[in-house]
Amino acid sequence: MLALTTAASAQRQYSNPIIDRSLPDPTVIRVGSLFYLYATEDIHNVPIYSSRNLTTWSYVGTCFTDATRPKMVPGGGIWAPDINKIGNQYVLYYSKSTWGGEWECGIGIATALSPRGPFKDHGKLFISSEIGVQNSIDPFYIEDDDGRKYLFWGSFRGIYAIELADDGLSVKEGAEKVKISGGMTEATYIHKHDDYYYLIGSAGSCCEGIKSTYRLVMARSKNLLGPYVDKNGKKAMDDNFSLLLEKSSEVVGPGHCSEIVQDDAGQDWILYHGFDAKDPDAGRKVYMDRVTWLRSGWPYIHDRKPSTTADAPLFGSAVDVEDLPEEAEGFVVRPRTVRDSFLIQSTSDLSNFRWQLVSLHGKVMKQGKAKKEVRVSVYDVPEGMYVVNVKSKKGQTSQKILRKP
C-alpha cells in the first residue's frame, strides 16, 4: 500500500532515538490502541515496553523471571525475540545463545494470553546441531496468502525457512528446511506489499560500537520462499541485496529492524537499533523512521539514513480525513466520510483498475476489479478509518475514508 499524504500544518515532530537506552533487536506488535516492544535482553529476562504513539515509550516489565527463564541452552543470553498473535495467544519466538556457540544455540517458543505476559516457556523449537544450520538465531514468523505458517531464521550462515504446524508451536510434520539467501545477512524480516514479498536483512558487524558496519539491505520475490533478487535482478542467494538504510553522522550501525507498523493515517514506520555516535558506550538504542513506497514498489527511507527529527506518526484526533487530497493519480474517491457506500471513479482515460478497502491494520475488507468506476457498499463494514487502494497500468494511489455509523 502506498503511504498517504497528510496535512503538514501543526504536525508534531519527534526526535531519535525514541528510546534512549540499549534495547537491541526490537520487535513490535499493535494491540488495540497500544504498541508493545520486546528486545534482546540487555535488560535481564527480555524487556517489554509499551506506547500509544510510537514515540513515547514506558517500561512494562519482562517476559520472564529467573524462575521461568528459558533453559533450552545452558547459560547464554535470550536474543532477538519475535512477537506474534497466533490464534488466541501471543507467541514469542526467541534465540538463546552464547557468543561463539554457533552449533549449540537455537530457537525457542513462549506463549502468553496478554502481550504484557507472563510468558510460559515451551522450550526449544530446534537447536543448530539438530536442524543442521550453523548459528540458528534471529527467528521471524510469517503466514503466506494461504495461511501456511513459516519460520525464517539464520545469521551469516545462510537464511532458511521451514513450515510450522497450524498452532505455530512446532515444525510441521515432514517439513524440510529451505535455503532462502546466502551468508551476507541476519535478522530477517519479510513484509508483503502489493505483489511482492520484501526481505529486509542486516549486513555487517552489529556490535562494535562506533566501528559497527551494520546496515539494512533488501531483496524481493513474488513468492514467499523465493527466489529473492535485488533492484538489479541479482539473486540474494548469491549475496546480492540493495541498500535500505546505512549509518549517518549521528547514528552508527543501524539495523535489526522491527516489523513495519502503521499509524492511524495509514503511514508505515519501522523501528531498529543503532549506536548513538555521541554516546556509543550506552549500547544499541531504538530509532524509528517512516517507510514510503516508490513507484517501483520498493520501500524507501528518506536519504537512506536515520533521521534526527521528523514529523511524528499520527493517531486519534490528529488524523483528519478531510485534510487529505480529493484526487490523486487519476482517481477520485467520494465521499470521504461515508455511511452506506462510496464511489471510486477514474478522472482520466484510465479504464480498468483494481481496488481494495483495507483496515489501518492491513486487513483487506473488500476488493475487486472495475472499469471507469465502481460503487462500494460499506453496510457490512465496522465504523472506523479505512484506506482505499487503487491500482492501474499507469500507477497506484491510496486514499482514506471514514466509515461512520
Contact by Cβ (8 Å): 51, 57: yes
For 236, which DSSP code? G
Mean pLDDT per block of 10 residues along the chain (405 residues) reads 35 92 98 95 97 97 97 94 97 95 96 97 98 98 96 98 98 98 98 95 97 98 98 98 98 98 88 98 97 92 96 75 49 85 80 84 85 89 85 77 81
User: How many CA atoms are closer than 13 Å to the CA of 224, on its beta-carbon side?
Assistant: 21
Structural domains of the chain sorted by starting position, each given as residue range(s) with its CATH number in brackets:
13-317 (2.115.10.20), 320-403 (2.60.40.3080)
pLDDT of residue 398: 80
Residue 402 has a CB neighbour count (10 Å cut-off) of 17
Contacts for 120-124: CB closer than 8 Å, 24+ residues apart: 120/68, 121/64, 121/68, 121/69, 121/70, 121/71, 122/169, 123/70, 123/72, 124/72
Per 3-state DSSP, the chain is made up of helix, strand and coil in percentages (nearest 5) of: 5, 50, 45
Helix (H, G, I), strand (E, B) or coil at 264: coil
- The string of pLDDT tens digits covering residues 274-325 is 999 999 999 999 999 999 989 899 999 999 999 999 999 988 755 555 444 4
Helix (H, G, I), strand (E, B) or coil at 278: coil
Nearest to 168 by CA among 142, 146, 145: 142
pLDDT of residue 318: 58
Taking the C-alpha atoms of residue 382 and residue 103, their distance in angstroms, rounded to an integer, is 50
Q: pTM of the full predicted structure?
A: 0.80
pLDDT of residue 3: 35
pLDDT of residue 142: 98
Q: What are phi and psi of 355, to 5 degrees?
A: -140, 155
